[in-house]
Amino acid sequence: MNEKNSGINILHESIKEKNYWEENLSGVLIKSNFPYDTIQKGKKDYNKEKVELNLSKEAFWGLQKLSNDSHYKLHVLLVASLNVMLYKYSGYGDIIIGSPIYKQKTEGRFINTFLPFRNTVKGDITFKQLLLQVRDTILNANENQNYPVESIINKLNIQVDDMKRSLLDVLVIVENIHYKKYIEHISSNMTFVFSVEKNDVLLSIEYNSNLYTKSTVKRIALSLDHTIKAITNDVHKKVKDINVLSPEQNEEILIDFNRKQEVNDKPKLIQELFEEQVIKTPNNIAIEIGSKTITYKALNEKANQLARTLREKELNPNDIVGIMIEPSIELAIGLMAILKAGATYLPLDPRYPVDRLKFMVEDSKVEFILSDSNYSHVFRGNIKILDITDQAHFSRDRSNLSILQGREDLAYIIYTSGSTGKPKGVMVEHRTVCKTILWRKDEYGLKPDHAVLQLVSYSFDAFIGGFFAPIVSGSKIVLLNNDEIKNINIIRKYIKEKKITHLHGVPLLISIIMEHISDEEANSLKTITVGGDRTPPNLINICLEKDIELVNEYGPTENTIISTIFRNMNNDSISKIGKPIYDTDIYILDQDNNLCPIGVTGEICISGGRLARGYLNRPQLTAKKFVKNPFKQDGVMYKTGDLAKWCEDGNIDFIGRKDFQVKIRGFRVELGEIEAKLLACSYIKQAVVIARGLENGGNYLSAYFVSDKKVTNNELVSYLSNELPEYMIPSYFMQIQDIPVTANGKIDRESLPLANSKINTVAEYVEPRNDIEEKIAEVWKIVLGARNIGIYDNFFSVGGDSLKAIRAASMLSERFHIEINDIYKYQTIQMLAAKIDYLSEDLVTRITTYKREIAAMEEEQANTEKNKEIEGELTDQYNLYMRKIEKYKDLNLEETINYKNILLTGATGYVGMYLLRELINFTDSTIYLLVRGKNIKEAEKRIKQKVDFYFGLEFYGEISDRIKILAGDISERYFGLEESNYEALSMEIDCIINSAAYVKHYGDYERFYNINVKGTKNLMEFSRIGKKKDYNHISTTTISDGNIDGIKRGLFTEYETDIGQKSNSYYSQTKLESEKVVIDASRNDINIKIFRLGNVSFNYETGTFQENIDDNAINKMLKSYIKLKVFPYIDAKMLNFSYVDQLAKSIILLFNKKALNNEIFHIYNPHQVSIVDIANLLKEKYNFIKVKSLGEFLEFISDNIYDEELRPYIDNVLMYMDIENNKNSTELISLNEKTNYILDKMDFKWDELDDAAINRMIQYWRKVNFM
């Protein structure tokens, strides 16, 4: 009986002990260790070395006092001390330390030879509280030591590092009470062995020298000695207040590492420094861009003249003036003029999204913006635009102006990414800028014979250092326009021709340039300065080979451009950002604002005399980020959120962002801002964005999202492109079931799957089939860092972005004729391979073939006079068509349907906007607008922005009581509305006008189908329920594009739809499919009208075009001809300019006529023109234009095919002509006589394209910088 009870007791005890360890080791286990110096893979896992130290007498007596001579209490004290050390060194509060089991009276076999002690360290608890916790942990572990702990660890499948070391990285042994031999099988990387003598404690640290240097371990030993002294002196001190650094270690970091060379800081303002330089070098070139230059004297005089105009606006110091213009001489004049006028400048890069620019302007309360006619339309309301190109400014007094500002007044405001989704404005004063640029001038020894190539956006603070330092040194600054900065060949050419000595930009762009530059081209280069991102190793190697100094600069905007510098980078310094510069103190602090030991990661905090004033209109954020300096009385310290660690030599090793704010190609990006934009998308439920490191340096963004519908990468890229700058758009998107979370409910970013090209591939993998495809695939693999890329994978869907596109184009240009735009045009290997040729005579030969084919076509046309004439076999078809029109002769067009509520889709599009205006002006209907957006507020914002762009906000005020905005999407079930709201809407609407469409030259079929076909099906379903609805469908005449087997030529009228044509265009395919859906519905008692649109052109009255003007193929074609200065003699009248205002008017004239139900209309201008007609009209504006025969034109193309500047335009022309594809397509002649006959009866007339219209078009092109 007793034996039975004894067995039960043992079983119960075993279960209790098992439960203890399972509970104690449950949850996420992070190995506790002192940060490794390095991991030397390839060597044996463990290379044992030892450092010894006798603890100081103060530490010894402190331990003796608290332990009362008990070695067991001493063990508790030492484990607790190391808990504090590990908390401070690792930044984690979940600490696991191991020790051997205590010595036993009799030796034998033990179930456990070691025990793990897991404790939770928090900054707010006292050391005494921690000590008691550690004591209880050690006691509990010993009470439960009879259950095999290793089996629990193995069962939990705890993940350790890639060298498969033990969970226990740190062990503590007190030799007097522990058997060291019990833990010899545990390959911990640091073992603290304490040997207690009568009046001494010898500390021996055994460590893995593959991971730690001896100097690091010595510092840890000294740090532990100091920590023991601190905690034994005051056990009531909170953990966060315990300093683990000795006074000597503190002094090394605070004083030695922050020693800086003094700079002669003149008590002057920026403009005064510039004016001093003008006196020294008046005739030196100050700015050069393209073929234009301006001297120091002329720049100063023009800035003075423009500043006098600004002064008349009664500006005061700290008043903000915006500047929005392309990089140019005018930009330099404007920047200097604003400062001379006594104001503060706000840079507004026109490449930023309009919403972002408008926020910056509204937030800063800008009243004046210096710009030119290209951007006067962007801002309306009370914003006054001063045209910097207006020559009236430059007839004023040229002399220098009196100084209005003081050194403490603001020089500029730079907006950086903000965590709330809104950027924040950093206010920077003259005194800090002057200090910085004078330091930069001296540091780099800038001289009048130096030339600096500036590759940074002027809205980025790095521009300021690379602009103002040279300009107060007499150096020449070379700027690039937005096209040139994407063209590596032009940059190489400029470096050589303009004898560039200093290159300034972000690492990845500089790396691409240097990969392709020859020794001859780089001969003048002395120094390359990079910053804002990690430096690729290949850039370092290239600079070492070419004997060019590579300098890494680090600095947040909040500390005026630059804070640290690392000169002469080498292969061991990829992540080094150097040492603090003049008037800057750097502190690397832990989570409790204590100094981090050398080698320990913490937050970079900055103090000194170059800090910004704070954030504009953000006092709470300013107070949070600009805090009291704990190391200097009355000082201020800026908390950067950047993580780094000190190196032994006083350099700083950069780690990354603390709060998920990252650097992407030099731009500071707040991941929360991108997440906020994604979450604003109506179909995104959850979203997380993270940054991952590239093997060759830099970061890329990966976005993870949850949605109830299948979402393609292209949808998200398209959406974000309207909301964010290009560099903030993630390279990868991954749709997942759920966002992973940690045990405490926070997002677990570490558990997010690794995005790769295979996951993001939307097409089935197909390997390259020929030599060209293989060569392209090789380059893509290198640029994108992917293993397998199929020929149907989209470049931008598998991680491509603008910089990678530049690099890919540059690498491919070594073998092929290719430009950066080709990567955007032909986004798969299959498409690109079909469009590019080897660098040989192949292309010239092909053009020669074109010439022969063109000559044959011209001869045939001359003989048969078939140039768009209706003859021969088409005569009967044409006559039949004209007879059908006769039935409309007596048509009653007076009977109009008075719709009460009209649903208009696609209202944010170009045509949709003009349809909305016509509906407002010519009906009394209430217009319901279905607009994509997370909510009505977001949808309304989109409508407002579009109305503002096309008609001005005043018009929105006039129509607000006539429109009702719904946040929804036609491609979703119930349009994305609540079912009850959808049903209620079906009872209100009596007419639908569907102008929604996905109109792109490329993309995945699913995106086209969802909007163009599925969306139409959803609208037809909506037409059938509730109140009966008439349906109007906006389509395109390009549904006739393609080939019909066995048919060379034919007519395509309003009576034809699907006649067997097969198009390669997804847009044409899906619009044809959508028409068939509509026609099928008309057979089921739904009244429909289909409006096929031709080439939608500019507003005839104003010349205004669509917002995304670059998407229009005819515009790009005409621009290319103008840039080439040559037009081909093609007199076939096949181009129609269907003015958007007249086009919309014609649709609204027709849509509500009862007699026209179930009809199809061709809406385009019948006054078609030829390329020759356009050339003759343009000659009035561009007298250099020549017209050549097709043969001569192609000869010209052949002769200039290798001209780097003309090549992009030649490519556009060849793509438009596309003879190879066109000769294999059926020629279908579109007719719209029926439509025009009906419109004529309603007194509607299309205007012809004349000189006045062309002039308005050209003026708008120039206004938006298209030309």
CB 931 within 8 A of CB 943: yes
Nearest to 720 by CA among 684, 695, 761: 684
Strands 424-429 and 614-615, how do they pair? antiparallel
pLDDT for position 1036: 94
Last residue within a domain, chosen from 587, 622, 654: 654
Report the chain's mean pLDDT, rounded to a whole number: 85
Query: Cα(1203)–Cα(1197) distance, rounded to whole angstroms?
Result: 10
Same domain, yes or no, for 451 and 531? yes
Average pLDDT for residues 196-216, to the nearest whole number? 91
Q: What band does 29 get if pLDDT is binned at 50, 70 and 90?
A: low
One domain for residues 636 and 704: no
Residue 1153: give its domain's CATH number. Answer: 3.40.50.720
Q: What integer pLDDT is reported at residue 841 of this predicted model?
A: 45
pLDDT tens per residue across span 805-838: 767 876 787 678 787 767 877 888 988 988 887 7
Cα gap 981→970, rounded to integer Å: 14
The CATH number covering residue 443 comes to: 3.40.50.12780
What the block records as the tokens of 804 is: 């990678």
> For 416-445, what is each residue's pLDDT tens digit?
876 666 789 999 999 999 999 999 999 999
Q: Closest by alpha carbon to 459, among 597, 607, 322, 617?
A: 322
pTM: 0.62
Question: Quick check: is 764 in a domain?
Answer: no
The mean per-residue pLDDT over the stretch 948-959 comes to: 89
The CATH number covering residue 778 comes to 1.10.1200.10
Say if residue 1222's pLDDT is above 80.
no
**Is 1262 within the bounds of a domain?**
no
63 closest CA partner among 190, 215, 254, 233: 233
**Are β-strands 699-706 and 732-735 bridged in parallel, bridged antiparallel, or unpaired?**
parallel
**Is 50 exceeded by the pLDDT of residue 161?**
no
Residues 481, 342 share a domain: yes
Which residues are bridge partners to 429 per DSSP?
Answer: 410
Do 290 and 344 sit in the same domain of this protein?
yes
Is there a contact between 730 and 702 (Cβ–Cβ < 8 Å)? yes
| Average pLDDT over every residue of 1017-1023 | 93
- Count the neighbouring beta carbons within 10 Å of the beta carbon of residue 266: 13
Within a domain: residue 228?
yes
Q: Which of 367, 368, 372, 346 is nearest to 357 (CA)?
A: 346
Q: What is the 3-state secondary structure (H, E, C) of 1142-1207?
A: HHHHHHHHHHCEHHHCCEEEEECCCCCECHHHHHHHHCCCCCCCEEECHHHHHHHHHHCCCCCCCH
Same domain, yes or no: 306 and 236: no
| Assigned domain for 1236 exists | yes
Burial of 591 (0-12, 13-18, 19+ CB in 10 A): middle
Quote the pLDDT of residue 322: 96
Rounded to an integer, what distance in angstroms lies between the CA atom of residue 416 and that of residue 423?
5
Residue 940 falls within a domain, yes or no? Answer: yes
Question: What mean pLDDT is predicted for residues 691-711?
Answer: 76
**Dist CA 652 CA 577 (whole Å):** 6
Over residues 1033-1048, the pLDDT tens digits come to 999 998 988 888 878 8
Q: What percent of the chain has pLDDT over 90?
A: 46
pLDDT at site 615: 96
Where do we find the tokens 């400029």? 494
Q: Look at the chain and report how many structural domains it folds into.
A: 5
Q: Sorting pLDDT into bands at 50, 70 and 90, what band is 7? A: very low
Q: Rounded to the nearest 5 degrees, what angle is found at the Cα of 543, between the Cα atoms of 540 and 547? A: 140
Range of the domain at 925: 888-1102+1136-1168+1226-1248
For residues 439 and 263, give the distance between their C-alpha atoms in angstroms, rounded to a whole number.
6
CA distances from 1207 to 817, 1199, 1202, 1210, 1249 (A): 9, 11, 7, 5, 29
Count the residues in the chain: 1267
Instruction: Identify the pLDDT of residue 755.
Output: 60
Residues in CB range of 392: below 8 A, 6 or more apart: none
> Within this chain, do residues 419 and 463 fall inside the same structural domain, yes or no?
yes
73 & 165 share domain? yes
Q: Residue 1128 falls within a domain, yes or no? A: no
User: Given 734, 763, 792, which residue is the final one in a domain?
Assistant: 734
Q: What is the mean pLDDT of residues 281-298?
A: 96
Taking alpha carbons only, the member of 648, 647, 646, 645 closest to residue 656 is 645
Nearest 10 degrees: Cα torsion 1091, 1096, 1101, 1104: 140
Q: Are residues 589 and 677 in the same domain?
A: no
Same domain? For 668 and 648 the reply is no
Q: According to the 3-state scheme, what is the secondary structure of 55-92?
A: CCHHHHHHHHHHHCCCHHHHHHHHHHHHHHHHHHHHCC
Cα 841 to Cα 853: distance, rounded to the nearest angstrom: 18
Domain finish residue from 793, 815, 835: 835
**pLDDT tens string 320-361:** 999 999 999 999 999 999 999 999 999 999 888 788 898 999
pLDDT tens track for 508-517: 788 889 988 9
Asked whether residue 877 is domain-assigned, the answer is no
Strand residue runs (E) in 593-739: 602-608, 614-615, 626-628, 636-646, 652-657, 661-664, 667-670, 686-693, 699-706, 732-735
Paired residues of 557 in beta bridges: none
Residues 631 and 684 in one domain: no
Q: What single letter denotes the amino acid at residue 802?
A: S
Judged against a pLDDT cut of 70, whether residue 262 lies above it is answered with: no
Do 239 and 304 have their domain in common?
A: no
C-alpha distances out from residue 191 to 54, 171, 829, Å: 16, 5, 56
* pLDDT reported for residue 691: 84
CATH of residue 724's domain is 3.30.300.30
Does residue 858 sit within a domain? no
Confidence (pLDDT) at 1219: 47
- pLDDT (average), residues 599-610: 93
pLDDT confidence of 249, banded at 50, 70, 90? Answer: very high
For 1157-1167, write each residue's pLDDT tens digit. 999 999 999 99
Which value, to the nearest 10 degrees, does the dihedral of the CA atoms of residues 357, 288, 515, 1207 take?
80
Looking at the fold, whether 910 and 1031 belong to one and the same domain comes out as: yes
- Poorest-pLDDT segment among 122-131, 563-572, 1148-1157: 563-572
Confidence of residue 181 (pLDDT cuts 50, 70, 90): confident
pLDDT band at 990 (very low <50, low <70, confident <90, very high): very high
The residue among 987, 988, 995 whose CA lies nearest residue 1034 is 995
Q: Once rounded to an integer, what is the mean pLDDT over residues 599-612?
A: 93
Task: Select from 596, 582, 573, 696 the least CA-distant residue to 642.
Answer: 596
| Nearest to 438, CA basis, from 449, 427, 430, 450 | 430
